[in-house]
Amino acid sequence: MEYKNILLSFEDEIGILTINRPKALNALNRETLNEIQLALQEVKDHSEIKVLILTGAGERAFVAGADILEMKDMNSIEALNFSKLGHHTLKMIQDLDRVVIAAVNGYALGGGTEIALACDFIYASENARFGLPEVTLGIFPGFGGTQRLPRLIGKGKAKELIFTGKMITAQEAYQMGIVNRVVPQASLMEETKKVASQIASNGTIGIRLAKMVIDAGYNMDLTEACALESYAFGIGFASEDQKEGMNAFVEKRKPNFKGR
Ligand code: CAA
């Protein structure tokens, strides 16, 4: 499919979704959010794709936030609908039955930090900058920042970032547990693809079940979450991947997982 504001490419088992509005530092307007939803549907239709990398075009920005020019004159109902559109898009990323890695290659501000937080984990380049500067615009985060960030780093640190609106470096984001790894900008895609390939070589069914159990269990009571894990663990034994993985171990060979 042809898109105006994003690029979607496939390399073996890895999909790459690039937000491509470099003149606006890849800011998220409604059209871009709708296109991301279509692209996620397209990824779903490609069963060979096991990992999706989300990144931004150019070297300056991952995503510099929701599009301020588009938001500027919104009324309350339009802002509500815009927030809902953002939430729906980010939920689609979070719930995608593939691993999604954010490769943050520059500014990830406001909606940029928020869309990265909806991914399974984040790799960042040394020049990446994170932050939720919405309060400097007289608003506050509307694409999940008030909810996903406290769940990831705790309420106190999240409140400090949201109330000050300050920008933090990739290294600071790493120390806070927002980012898994910081690498030089020139090697960001290479390093992200490396971990994506490692994930893709493992049993797809096991990874899908693990993602579902981690996300669904996160806000559950531990006893219920562990029960969910047991059921999902049992379901995993209905897969060919389980037979192949364990037979390969016994036969001392590399497994050839089919994702079935
Ligand atoms: N929306 C629309 N356009 C944006 C944008 C945004 N979020 N961020 C940058 N741009 C545009 C600029 O308007 C500028 O366009 P022109 O060349 O046509 O003037 C272009 O991108 C380049 O930006 P700058 O000239 O500002 O570049 P800079 O290097 O001086 O500064 C920056 C970079 C620090 C990222 C700065 O652009 C900036 O502060 N951007 C806004 C960041 C922000 O506040 N994000 C939060 C948005 S609100 C939000 O996301 C709400 C939500 O939770 C849903």
Q: Kindly tell me the sign of the dihedral angle through the C-alpha atoms of 201, 42, 25, 130.
A: negative
| Minimal-distance CA residue to ligand 1 atom 36 | 64
Q: Quickly list DSSP for 181-203.
A: EEE-GGGHHHHHHHHHHHHHTS-
CATH of the structural domain 6-200, one choice from 3.90.198.10, 3.30.70.141, 3.90.226.10, 1.10.10.10: 3.90.226.10
The ligand 1 site (C-beta within 6 Å) comprises 24-25, 27, 64-69, 86, 107, 109-111, 114, 133-134, 137, 141-143, 145
> What CA–CA distances, in Å, run from 231 to 146, 171, 218, 245?
32, 39, 16, 19
- Alpha carbons within 13 angstroms on the beta-carbon side of residue 126 total 5
Assign domain 204-250 to its CATH superfamily.
Lyase 2-enoyl-coa Hydratase, Chain  A, domain 2 (1.10.12.10)
- Find the 205 Cα to ligand 1 centroid distance in Å: 40
**pLDDT tens for residues 99-131?**
999 999 999 999 999 999 999 999 999 999 999
| Minimal-distance CA residue to ligand 1 atom 29 | 60
- Find the 113 Cα to ligand 1 centroid distance in Å: 13
Alpha helices in 47-142 (DSSP H): 68-71, 76-95, 111-117
**pLDDT tens for residues 129-187?**
999 999 999 999 999 999 999 999 999 999 999 999 999 999 999 999 999 999 999 99
Query: Where do the structural domains in the chain lie, given as residue ranges?
Result: 6-200, 204-250
Question: Has this prediction a pTM greater than 0.95?
Answer: yes
Please state the atom number of ligand 1 nearest to the C-alpha of residue 145.
53
Pocket test for ligand 1, best of 25, 84, 109 (most atoms within 8 A of CB): 25
- Find the 167 Cα to ligand 1 centroid distance in Å: 13
Nearest to 99 by CA among 121, 66, 77: 121
Share of the chain above pLDDT 70, in %: 100
Identical fold for domains 6-200 and 204-250, yes or no, is no
| Minimal-distance CA residue to ligand 1 atom 37 | 64
